[in-house]
Structure formats: C-alpha cells, structure tokens
Amino acid sequence: MMPSIGASFAFRTLLILLMVGGPVTYAAALTEPKRPPQTELQKDGQTPNDGMDDPDAAEDSAEDPATGLPMPDSLIDKNAKDNAGPAVDDHSDIPVEIILDPALLPAPVQKLRVALVEAAASGDVERLRPLLGDAKEPTQIAIGDAPEDPILGIKSISGDPDGREILAIMLDILSTGAALVDKGTPNETYVWPYFAEKSLDKLSPPEIVELYRIVTAADVVDMKEFGGYNFYRIGISADGKWKFFVAGD
C-alpha cells in the first residue's frame, strides 16, 4: 500500500532535519571551549585574580618551583613594628650620682655627716660610739682582723694608740663629695669619698689634687693597677644611719 502524500512529506521533512540539524548541533558542542568548574570565590562573585594585586598576598602564596609546595612563612613579621609594645630597657644598672655640695644631701644624711665630722675633729675616738648602728643594723667595720668592739678595731689600725690618725683620715674623706649609689632602692647609700665610685683615670686635675689629700701619688698608681680606689670609705644610708667604715674594694 502506498503511503499518503502527507505522511510521505512528513517523513522527508524529519529525515532532512535529522541529516542537517543533528550534525550542526554536534559540531557546535565540539567547538565550545571547556570551562573549569567554579570555585567558592567565583560563586561569591569574586574573580580568581582578586587579591593578587597585594604583594604580601602574592608572597604568602608563593610556591617552591622545584617541589611545587608552598614556601615557608617569612621569619620577619611585617607587622612587628605596628604591634610592638613600648621599648624595654634591659639594662638594670643605676648610674652613680656625684654630690659635691653637702647642702644637697638629705637632712638625715647631713645630720650624721656633721656628727661624724665633729666626733673626728674632737680627737676622742669614743665619740664615734653613739653614732654606730645598733644590733639590728650594725655598722660594718671591715678593716683587717679587727676586734669585735668597733672602736677597738679603729684603734688597732691607727698609727697611734688613740686612733687619732684614723680620725684624721675620716675628716679628709668626709671633706670630699659623696657618691649616691643604688638610688631609689632600699640599699640607697651615700659613699665618701666619691672616688670610690669613679674611675681614677677620668679624674680632673682638681679632683686628683683632692685625692692626693687622702692618699699619696704612689698609692694612686697602685690603685690604678688594682682597678679602682681601695682606701677607706664611709657609707651613710638615706635615712641617716652609719652603714660602714671599710677599706679595700
């Protein structure tokens, strides 16, 4: 039975569409460029190059060309300057202050210094006894193998039996300026002579003359070889207590 004209026309039309339309659609699919899958950044509306203009970001994401692995973080913290706290000075040494004018000493220190000067000028070593510290805070008398009694100890090192040579030395020492050591601490002390806390190589000519009133030029040479002043010295605390009368370094 021959097909009808309508059916034959429909069949031919379908055949043409299959022969023409199919290949065209297939060719278009082959030539369409492949697109990589979207990243999370692209889904949020950002492009893959976002942030690459930041040199720090590029540096942080750098890879080792040999291994392809991320490079380790830089040891230099670029924000260290901004994040750093106030500078801390690790140095704990407290500079020594030289006081040449007795009027600038604290009142308790001035009072004891005057009392020591008056006792020494009297020629009676026993007048030093009331000025010594008590059992709780004794005055350190370190001058060789001194007896337990500090006054007898002072007499034992004097060139005369009455201790007057030491009294004269005390007068000379207290006539110089004082060095304030450990300022602002519980051990704050005023030390005579100030040479005890100053480099002998840095003394001015007038200071050297003042030092020669206490020791000889030969003694100063020996002190420089030793490394500093090592003759007698007197220490008074900031609250006016006699802390020590010692010799040596």
Per-residue model confidence as pLDDT tens digits over 150-189: 898 889 889 999 999 999 999 999 999 999 999 999 999 9
Does residue 143 contact residue 155 with C-beta atoms inside 8 Å?
Answer: no
pLDDT tier at 113, thresholds 50, 70, 90: very high
* Per-residue model confidence (pLDDT) at position 95: 76
| 97-99 β-sheet, strand order | 97-99, 178-181, 189-192, 233-237, 242-246, 140-142
* Per-residue model confidence (pLDDT) at position 213: 93
* Per-residue model confidence (pLDDT) at position 156: 87
Greatest mean pLDDT range, 36-45, 140-149, 193-202: 193-202
Per-residue model confidence as pLDDT tens digits over 201-238: 999 999 999 999 999 999 999 999 999 999 999 999 99
* Per-residue model confidence (pLDDT) at position 247: 87
Mean pLDDT across 135-159: 81
pLDDT tier at 148, thresholds 50, 70, 90: confident
pLDDT tier at 94, thresholds 50, 70, 90: low
Q: Does residue 85 have a pLDDT over 90?
A: no
Q: 219: Cβ–Cβ under 8 A, 6 or more apart, which residues?
A: 231
- The residues with which 99 forms a beta bridge, in sequence order, are 178
Tokens of 30: 């082959």
pLDDT tier at 135, thresholds 50, 70, 90: confident
Per-residue model confidence as pLDDT tens digits over 56-70: 444 444 455 554 544
Q: How far apart are CA 102 and CA 193, in angstroms?
A: 12
Q: What is the pTM of this model?
A: 0.61
